[in-house]
Amino acid sequence: MKIFLYILYPFSLLYRFLFWWQQKGIKSFHLPNVLVVSVGNITVGGTGKTPFVQYLVHFFKETYPGYAITILSRGYKAEKSRDGAILPNESDPKLYGDEPSQHKEVFPDVQVIIGRDRKKAFLNYNKFQSSKHIVILDDGFQHKALHRDFDFVLLDSNSPFGNGFTIPLGFLREPIHHLKRADAIVFTKLTSNHQQKLKKYTNLLNHAGINTPVFHSTFKASISEVIIDQSFSKKSYEPNSDGKYFLVTGVGNPNHVYSTAKLTLDSVRIRKKFFPDHFEFHSGSLESLVDEIEVGEILVTTEKDWVKMRSNLPFVQTLEKKKIRLLLILIQVCVNEDQKIKSMLAALVSTYEAKIDQVSKI
C-alpha cells in the first residue's frame, strides 16, 4: 500500500495543479434571465445526483407551475454529447446518455438538453420562451463555464471523502476545502449507522473552515415489477423472503444498490453481477446475462440500467419468450430537513423574480 502511495502521490499533486490551472482560465457565462441551480459532487462514483435532481424538479414543478424547467447535462458517453442535443420523449440512451434519458422518461414535459459544451448546447437548443426559467445543472460543481445561482454538493455518507486524496491516489475530484464554493452540502444515503461518522465529518468540515449549510438525506426504496410488453408499464410487487433474485447493475455505487435490494426484497438469496458505471448493455452482454439467469430467478435492476436494457429489442423479446420476470428498484430522495431546504429554494426564487421584474422595468 505504501508503495502505491509513493508512486501515485506526485500524480495526485499534478492533478490538483492541472485542475487549478484549468479552472483559473475559465470565465463563467451567465445564461440570460435564467435561474441556474447546480447539483454536483467532489468525488468520483455515485453520490445520488440523479434522484436529487428529480427531487428538485418535483419541488419546482409543484411550487412554481408557471415556470419553464430544463435539466442541462453533459450526457456522459452519449453519442450526441459532442454537438449537443435536446432529448425527444422517446430517447435512446446510447445517443443521449443514461441519466438524461431517465430524466426525460420521468418528466416528459421538462426540457432535457445535453452537450459537452453546456453553454453552447443550451443557447442552441433551448425552445422555452418563458420569462421565468429554471435550469438544473446536472453534475455541475466543476463546470465553471456556467454561472450558478446555487450550488448543491452531495456527499455519500458511507465515504464522503474517500481517503482524502485527489485522483489518482484517491477519489476526490478536487480538494475538500473547495467545498467553500458550495451553497449547500447534502450528506446522502444516510442510515442510523452513520450518526457517529457524521459527527466526525462535520468536525472535519468545520476544521477546514467550511461553514456551508449542511443537510442530510435518505433513500426511500420501493420495488415495482415491469410488465414485459410494448407498454413496459409497472405494477406493484410484494417482496418474498423465499424468492430467488439476480441483481444486475452498472452504476457508480453498485454495493449500495445491492444492500438496498436485500433490504427492500427482504431476502438474502440475491446473486449479483456488477458492470462499470455508464456501461453500455450491448447485445452480447445481454445475451450472456440471460444465459446466467437460473431457473426460478427474478431479474432485478435499477431504472437507470433498465432504460438502456429495454432499447435492445431482442433482449426484451427473450425475456418475454422465456417468461423471465423483471423488477425495478425505484429510489426517492427524502431530505431530513425538507422544509428548511425548500425555504432556501423559495428565497432563491424570490430573489430571482425580483431581478427579472427589475430588468423588465428598464
pLDDT tens per residue, range 258-294:
999 998 998 878 999 999 988 888 888 898 999 999 9
Q: Which uninterrupted H or E stretch holds 156?
A: strand 150-156
CB contact at 8 A, 302 and 274:
no
Burial class, 74, CB count within 10 angstroms (exposed 0-12 / middle 13-18 / buried 19+): buried
Residue type, 29: F
Q: What integer best gives the mean pLDDT of the chain?
A: 91
| Portion of the chain with pLDDT greater than 90, in percent | 64
SS3 per residue for 300-335: EEEHHHHHHHCCCHHHHHHHHHCCCCEEEEEEEEEE
Q: Taken in order 139, 145, 147, 151, is the CA torsion positive or negative? A: positive
What kind of fold does domain 221-331 have according to CATH?
A: Rossmann fold (3.40.50)
20: confidence class by pLDDT, cuts 50, 70, 90 = confident
* Residue 50 is labelled as binding a ligand: yes
CB contact at 8 A, 150 and 215:
no
Residue type, 27: K
> DSSP assignment, residue 164?
S
* Residue 63 is labelled as binding a ligand: no
* Residue 260 is labelled as binding a ligand: no
Q: How far apart are CA 148 and CA 35, in angstroms?
A: 8
41: confidence class by pLDDT, cuts 50, 70, 90 = very high
Domain ranges of the chain: 26-212, 221-331
Residue type, 156: D
* Residue 49 is labelled as binding a ligand: yes
* Residue 212 is labelled as binding a ligand: no
Q: What is the Cα 5 distance to its own chain's centre?
A: 30
- Residue for cell digits 442535443? 85
The closest alpha carbon to 105, from 34, 39, 57, belongs to 57
| Portion of the chain with pLDDT greater than 70, in percent | 97
pLDDT attached to residue 23 = 87
pLDDT at 316 over 70: yes
Averaged pLDDT, 344-360? 90
The C-alpha cell of 25 is what?
A: 482560465
Q: How far apart are CA 137 and CA 72, in angstroms?
A: 5
Q: Give tens-digit pLDDT for 220-230.
A: 999 999 998 87
Q: Give tens-digit pLDDT for 232-263.
A: 889 999 887 788 999 999 998 899 899 999 98
The closest alpha carbon to 332, from 40, 56, 39, 43, belongs to 56
* Residue 188 is labelled as binding a ligand: no
1: confidence class by pLDDT, cuts 50, 70, 90 = low
* Residue 318 is labelled as binding a ligand: no
pLDDT at 98 over 70: yes
pLDDT at 361 over 70: no
95: confidence class by pLDDT, cuts 50, 70, 90 = very high
Q: How far apart are CA 303 and CA 99, in angstroms?
A: 9
- Residue for cell digits 430573489? 351
Q: Which CATH architecture has domain 26-212?
A: 3-Layer(aba) Sandwich (3.40)
* Residue 43 is labelled as binding a ligand: yes
Q: How far apart are CA 2 and CA 334, in angstroms?
A: 40
Q: Same CATH topology for 26-212 and 221-331?
A: yes
Averaged pLDDT, 123-142? 94
The C-alpha cell of 22 is what?
A: 484549468
Averaged pLDDT, 165-173? 92
Rg (CA), the chain: 21
Residue type, 64: Y
Residue type, 175: P
Residue 44 vs residue 362, higher pLDDT: 44
The closest alpha carbon to 56, from 140, 181, 158, belongs to 140
Relative orientation angle of helices 313-321 and 283-292, to the nearest 10 degrees: 20
CB contact at 8 A, 118 and 143:
yes
- Residue for cell digits 453500455? 280
List the end-to-end C-alpha distance of the chain, in Å, as a whole number.
63
Residue 8 vs residue 115, higher pLDDT: 115
C-alpha angle 23-25-27 in degrees, rounded to nearest 5:
90
pLDDT attached to residue 130 = 83
pLDDT at 362 over 70: no
pLDDT attached to residue 45 = 81
Which of 11-37 are b and which e, b meaning 16 or more Cβ less than 10 Å from the residue's Cβ?
Answer: ebeebbeebeeeeeeeeeeebeebbbb
pLDDT attached to residue 293 = 92
